Amino acid sequence: MSDCLLNDQIRGFLHSGVAVMMGTRDADLIPEAIRGWGPVETADGTINVCIGLAAGQKTLENLADNRQVTLALSSPLNYAQYQIKGRCAQVVEANAEDVSRVESHREAFIIACESIGTARSVIERLYLQDVGDPPVLVNVRFEPEQIFNQTPGPTAGNSL
């Protein structure tokens, strides 16, 4: 368990309108990426993030196989980026609270994308393609172990 691995800056970043991607791999080390929605830090220091069930079949198989997971966060507004690596603790069907959180995140992400010229309709469609209509989501809870600064530039890749 990793209490307080996230500082306030990264916590605020995690809960803002950032792009979220989840990465896993299978037993043959073949990587798999999927878009994540509604990331949040829980009281015990783990992170919850939702993925679409249909788009996430391979990801879920990978998590069941080896639990290794990484989460990349990127702000459309300024390209600030972080990556959080850890181990999956639990996968459960998303509840109403999760769905509400996902919708809040989606809206914040849309607003951020609109400010740099991407149409709302594009992100809404991207979301529906990811999670289905109506959305069918699963919640992935994982324990963060390492955080990296990935903002492009001389310090990209530095561990925090």
Partner 1 sequence: MNQPSRPTVPLVDIASCFEGVIPSTICSCAKDGTPNLTYLSIVHCIDANHVGLSNQFFNKTWKNIQENPRAQVIVCKPETGDQFRLDLRYERTVTEGLVFGRIKTRLDAIASQTGMSNIFKLRGVDIYEVLDCRYTAFPLHSETAEIESGDDVLALDAFMERISTSTDLDSFLDESLKALSALFDYDHSFLMVPDEQQQNLFTIASHGFDASGVGSEVCIGEGIIGVAAKQKTIIRIASLARDVVFSRAVRSGVELHGVGGPLEREIALPGLLSGQSNLVVPILAQDGLLGVLCLQSPVPGRFRASDERLMRIVSRHLAARMALLHVQERTNSITEVKPTSPQGIFRSHRESVVRYFRADDSIFIDDGYLIKGVAGKIFWKLLKIHGATGRTDFSNKEIRLDSSLNLPDFKDNLESRLILLRRRLAERCDFLVLSRVSRGQIHLDVRRRLILEEL
Contacts to partner 1 by CB under 8 A: 19, 21-25, 29-35, 52, 54-55, 66, 68-72, 74, 77-81, 83, 85, 116-118, 121-130, 132, 150-157
Nearest approach, Cβ of 69 to partner 1 (angstroms)? 7
Hey, what are 95's tokens? 């509840």
Q: Which is nearer to partner 1, 71 or 138 (CB)?
A: 71
Nearest Cα neighbor of 60 from 71, 73, 51, 72 is 51
Residue with tokens 């990587």: 31
Nearest approach, Cβ of 43 to partner 1 (angstroms)? 26
Q: Which is nearer to partner 1, 114 or 141 (CB)?
A: 114
Q: Which residues contact 38 (CB under 8 A, 6 or more apart)?
A: 48, 49, 50, 98, 101, 102, 103, 104, 105, 106
Nearest Cα neighbor of 109 from 39, 54, 24, 56 is 39
Nearest approach, Cβ of 17 to partner 1 (angstroms)? 14
Nearest approach, Cβ of 133 to partner 1 (angstroms)? 8
Q: Which is nearer to partner 1, 32 or 107 (CB)?
A: 32
Nearest approach, Cβ of 18 to partner 1 (angstroms)? 11
Q: Which is nearer to partner 1, 85 or 141 (CB)?
A: 85
Q: Which is nearer to partner 1, 2 or 150 (CB)?
A: 150
Nearest Cα neighbor of 102 from 12, 36, 29, 6 is 36
Nearest Cα neighbor of 8 from 147, 108, 156 is 147
